[in-house]
Structure 1
Amino acid sequence: MAKLNFNPIKKHVIEFARRFSEDEVTSLSAQLSYFFLLSLFPLLIFIVALASYLPIDYLRLLEMMSAYIPVEAMQLIENFLFETMDSSGGGLLSIAIIGTIWSASNGINAIMRALNKAYDVEENRSFILGRLIAISLLLSVLLLIVVALLLPVFGRMIGVYIFSFFGASEQFISVWNGLRWVISSSIFFVVFLYLYKMAPNAKVYFKDAIWGALFATVGWQVSSYGFSLYVNTMGNYAATYGSLGGVIILMLWFYISGIIIILGGEINAMVADHRGRLKT
């Protein structure tokens, strides 16, 4: 019986560990968590303010977010939104748009710098071009959030409406009820793919970016769910940090998310390097 050759796997693991250390993944993830926190609340204001103009109950959107975000962090977010909506005036949406674009694009810029490090390239794009790329990526992320949240909440309603024209059976509607979760994950994958394609200041091929996008899609959902489960069942941050417990949990969640995003970029850079297609 032929023996399995684990040398190639070992080689890739060693290279991955070297990149993890040399590219300071944990330090960059800490920076990303800071920008993510600054971007979160203007983004939430924008989404809730926009939902007020649409036939959407934002409370149900918050309910869907709770599947990924720990309870204490969700309480912080909900309290912030309730206070904001109670004290807001008619100009909330316009203010939220400005705040979201500026704050969240800074977070995207941080991701761009982190991915440039993964590809060992310098950022030489102009400020205007870099900001335009960041805004376009931001709009993609907003689309991801809206659609990924709308499908689980309104998926059945949409399915019944669409397939009513074709006389679909109740059994087929049940299948659609499960497929909408797959569609949500597919949207995550597409946005991550676009992020890894456009963010680095390097020529990135879709064939190389697929692997990092797949890792980020699965890794982010699994890690978010796992972290939420851990905090809700075993981690008592409120007892340790008091009223700051929700902020600490948010920062830890953003930190884990940053690691997943950067590792996806590292995987793409490794694939491109091994295929000899890494061009700056």
Structure 2
Amino acid sequence: MVSRGLDLALGRLKSLWAICYDVYVRFAAHDAWAISSHVALSVLLALFPFLIVVTSIASLIGTDEIAAQVVSLAFEGWPPALSGPLAGEITRVLTGRRLDLLTVGVVLLLWTSSSAVEAMRVALVRAYGVPDMRWWYWTRLQSIGFMLLGAVGMFLLAFAVVLWGPIWNTATAYIPDLGAATWNALAFRYISTSLFLMGGLMLAHLWLPPQRIPVLATLPGTFLTMLLWLVGAAVFGYWLSRWANYASTYAGLGSIMAVIFFLYINSVAFILGGELNAVLATRRRTREAREASEAEEQAGKEDVVSSKEETARDTSGSGRPARRNSKRNKAGS
């Protein structure tokens, strides 16, 4: 019994190792190291225009607190050494009313902020290995729509985070057993942000590549990306606080290079999620084809056996009268 369980565990480890190996081989074959740089720089270029769009929506409504929450949520999970200075500067710049969005500037903002989605689309198309034959203007419109959907979603998320505190305080005033409002507001913030990121990743896998895949098939890559994001943020943040000395290498550009490197790590994690989904889909198709072939082969063997049995029955049935007739002929002679 123990030996059987050990063999089963070793078999699963071998299968896991084979999957990891296939993911890395595909990652390297699709030039994902270079594509990760493209995605990281595109996200950095699109970050400010995207936040301008979201905070302008909040500012036009007249809710600067929601605009500040949007900026805070955008850097949720970033190492404090990176998110602190960036969030403070962005909040001071973007919380004012942006009436220039009512002019042609909105077109430039939408185009620039959607470039990050275009880079993610290119990465996923390479990861899944399916040629994209769609027209460029259609994919660009799709990217703009995806960006606007993300902007509205982040605005609603920030709105919910702002309202959650008063709602929870009111609830705990009537029902004290619900617990401390501060902890639960923080839990709501983390849970809602995680669900928002998970939903965005799943939509990216479902929407951006040319082929359509089942919703459940996006979950392995989504979970892998989120896990790598968490681990990468923790390790990179610890490294920044302990040993990193970007100023000695990049002088005044040290903080910018740290942001680019962090985005590069996140881009690698995003592409690895797509490669994992592609590997699992290929293995699933191979297994289904093998099972179908085995079933067809088994059905063919059963047909051969049944045909032999029918032939044998026909032969035995026709042979008896023939022997009786031969005996009668001998007796008559």
Give the TM-score range, shorter chain. Answer: 0.7 to 0.9
Higher relative contact order (CA 8 A, sep 6+): 1
| Counterpart residue number, 1:75 | 85
Higher helix share: 2
Does residue 32 of the first structure (1) align with residue 39 of the second (2)? yes
Query: Are the aligned partners of 1:66 and 1:74 in contact in 2 as well (CA < 8 Å)?
Result: no
| Counterpart residue number, 2:285 | 276
Query: Are the aligned partners of 1:151 and 1:184 in contact in 2 as well (CA < 8 Å)?
Result: no
Does residue 134 of the first structure (1) align with residue 143 of the second (2)? yes
| Counterpart residue number, 1:112 | 121
| Counterpart residue number, 1:228 | 237
Percent identical = 20
| Counterpart residue number, 1:48 | 55
Query: Are the aligned partners of 1:76 and 1:246 in contact in 2 as well (CA < 8 Å)?
Result: no
Unpaired segments of 5 or more residues in structure 2? 287-333
| Counterpart residue number, 1:18 | 25
Runs of 4+ in 1 over 6 A off after TM superposition: none
Cα–Cα, structure 1 residues 60 and 137, in superposed 2: closer, same or farther, change >3 Å?
Answer: closer
Q: CA deviation digits over 1:192-240, x for unaligned, max 9? A: 1111111111121112111111222332244234323432343232343
Deviation at 1:11? 1.5
Report the count of equivalent residues.
274
Q: CA deviation digits over 1:51-98, x for unaligned, max 9? A: 323323244554553751553565356446645778x86325656643
* Counterparts of residues 1-280 of structure 1 (less than 5 Å): 1-2=2-3, 3=6, 4-5=9-10, 6-53=13-60, 54-57=62-65, 58-59=67-68, 61-63=70-72, 65=75, 67-72=77-82, 74-76=84-86, 78-79=88-89, 82=92, 90-92=99-101, 97-149=106-158, 154-160=163-169, 163=171, 167-169=174-176, 171=178, 174=181, 176-177=184-185, 178-276=187-285
RMSD: 3.1
**Using the alignment, how far apart are the partners of 1:225 and 1:140 within structure 2?**
29
Q: Which moved more, 1:55-64 or 1:114-123?
A: 55-64
**Using the alignment, how far apart are the partners of 1:242 and 1:61 within structure 2?**
31
Cα–Cα, structure 1 residues 187 and 26, in superposed 2: closer, same or farther, change >3 Å?
Answer: same
TM-score computed with the length of structure 2 as normaliser: 0.71
TM-score computed with the length of structure 1 as normaliser: 0.82
Query: Are the aligned partners of 1:209 and 1:268 in contact in 2 as well (CA < 8 Å)?
Result: yes
Cα–Cα, structure 1 residues 74 and 42, in superposed 2: closer, same or farther, change >3 Å?
Answer: farther
Query: Are the aligned partners of 2:30 and 2:126 in contact in 1 as well (CA < 8 Å)?
Result: yes
Cα–Cα, structure 1 residues 168 and 137, in superposed 2: closer, same or farther, change >3 Å?
Answer: farther
